[in-house]
Amino acid sequence: MNGEILQVRDVPSDEMRRLRARAAARGVSLSAYLRELIHDDVSRPAMTEVLERIASRSSVEATDEDIRASIEDDQR
């Protein structure tokens, strides 16, 4: 695996203990566990990206009556 080296300083001892315990519970090294956490985090879009996508969508114009009619149609 080719990649960058990441060093994190000043992690509280209690948090390190919990991270090591979680890694051990999964049967992986601390490095592998942290890589997985990083991968999972960067695989999801950032909240700003999600909000930008939502804002760029065209709005849907529907009245209460339209919504009720649609629900009634689905129930038939």
The three-class DSSP label of residue 5 is coil
Q: What is the pLDDT of residue 60?
A: 83
- pLDDT category of residue 59 using cuts at 50, 70 and 90: confident
Q: State yes or no: pLDDT of 14 exceeds 80.
A: yes
pLDDT digits (tens, 9 = 90+) for 34-47: 999 999 999 999 99
- pLDDT category of residue 1 using cuts at 50, 70 and 90: low
The three-class DSSP label of residue 21 is helix
